[in-house]
Structure 1
């Protein structure tokens, strides 16, 4: 299988770190996000990864050039100007000849089982929505219990992991986000599937708090 990692963003919420290094090289437990992601994809049999880059591309290329024992073939798809997720996938997927491929957001750390996704064409991995805040359980006007970041049953969120058919390329915008263009269109037509995952580990590393929390578990998530 082949995979695309969307790693072209500037990571503005992680400034000032991302003023000096691109977000894919932000470290989690002394290892960059991009390296954790490559290990994750390799675990599920991905043998070729195309990394979509834009901001500080050379730094990412130089780092991975030094890591010669990653065990996968790595290519780059460079954006001269921001293309959005849809445009980035379209440009990168032209290098793929397989029937289908995976897509992974560049800030996602997870243990979602990709083997379950390969069975479902044009699918989005879904996880149960999690609150960002602690939850109070109440009975009448009394607080009975506190829970931290509870998962809310039967409300599903996009986990940033996709399995797409090669044929979707023709529908992708040259510039724009897949989440705002192709996915809503496919959903209306009944052409978009989901694979639901419960009790999985999942982080979107988008803040310093995310970095701190993910760093505590990342080596358990991606073994």
Structure 2
């Protein structure tokens, strides 16, 4: 099976409050919350470096100084740039992505949300096959909530369904897959579809739109062929609440840890 070269660039959206994780986020941003001793953001950066990414742009807002201190200008071999959202408290993730449009226009790119804890192999799954635009997905289970997608027989995402819960898992209904908020886009798609559509959304005043709404618009109305990378066999979890954090810590009973320099190190595992 064909494996593509990894993008040299990645964008991570890490500006939000993380209010559902309080009190853990009273003094630190959600991307620095730890899963078994490893901050969510450090886990992502360590894996991006491992697959060959060289530069990461992080969109920051809430407690931005803490993220900049924890990651620095270099994390291991990664060069880190920061883009600040001064209106993070009243905008959605699409606005944060729009702020990073210069990075999106610099070539092929990984796009990550800053609240997903995942295995390195999830990024490798995004590089397998002929598709140039790929989203990581996994079966939607009863413990999950949020955006979901439907897939074609050929493995393309055909539509998005927002605000899904266990109640939407209907017997004999269409099989739902959870979007993992890990994506890879080609330079052409970023230049001709994603950034222009972001300009339209933000220009129209829809500052509270989410990235999933952007993708739904592109797939359902503008013809984006977004392939699904099935990650059924991998460990991952999106962490929005304290309950999510407990689930993630059970899934990753021993998570890899990266220090501030991006070097793996051993830490005490929470059991």
TM-score (norm 1): 0.80
Once residues 26 and 180 of structure 2 are traced to their aligned partners in structure 1, the CA distance between those partners, rounded to angstroms, is 27
Counterparts of 1:96-175 in structure 2, within 5 Å, are 96-111=104-119, 112-118=121-127, 119-132=130-143, 154-165=175-186, 166-167=190-191, 168-172=194-198, 173-174=201-202, 175=207
**Contact 2:55–2:79 (CA under 8 A) maintained in structure 1:** yes
- Structure 1 residue ranges (4+ consecutive) displaced by more than 4 angstroms after TM superposition: 218-223
Counterparts of 1:1-223 in structure 2, within 5 Å, are 1-65=8-72, 70-82=76-88, 83-111=91-119, 112-118=121-127, 119-132=130-143, 154-165=175-186, 166-167=190-191, 168-172=194-198, 173-174=201-202, 175=207, 176-197=209-230, 198-216=232-250, 217=252, 219-220=254-255
TM-score (norm 2): 0.67
Once residues 194 and 15 of structure 1 are traced to their aligned partners in structure 2, the CA distance between those partners, rounded to angstroms, is 35
**Contact 2:11–2:103 (CA under 8 A) maintained in structure 1:** no
**Contact 2:138–2:180 (CA under 8 A) maintained in structure 1:** yes
**Contact 2:54–2:78 (CA under 8 A) maintained in structure 1:** yes
Once residues 13 and 3 of structure 1 are traced to their aligned partners in structure 2, the CA distance between those partners, rounded to angstroms, is 26
Moved more, 211-220 or 98-107: 211-220
Once residues 97 and 202 of structure 1 are traced to their aligned partners in structure 2, the CA distance between those partners, rounded to angstroms, is 29
1:32-58: CA deviations, max 9, x gaps? 111111112112211111111110101
SS in 2 for 1:55: coil
Q: Using a 3 Å threshold, how does the CA distance of structure 1 residues 57 and 220 change in structure 2: closer, same or farther?
A: closer
Compute the displacement of 1:72 (Å): 0.5
Compute the displacement of 1:218 (Å): 6.3
Q: Using a 3 Å threshold, how does the CA distance of structure 1 residues 203 and 218 change in structure 2: closer, same or farther?
A: farther
Name whichever structure is richer in strand by fraction. 1
Compute the displacement of 1:209 (Å): 2.7
1:171-207: CA deviations, max 9, x gaps? 1133322211343343234313122312111101122
1:86-128: CA deviations, max 9, x gaps? 2211221313553321111111112243234244233322111
Moved more, 10-19 or 213-222: 213-222
Superposed CA RMSD in Å reads 2.7
**Contact 1:3–1:103 (CA under 8 A) maintained in structure 2:** yes
Gaps of 5+ in 1: 134-151
Q: Using a 3 Å threshold, how does the CA distance of structure 1 residues 28 and 220 change in structure 2: closer, same or farther?
A: closer
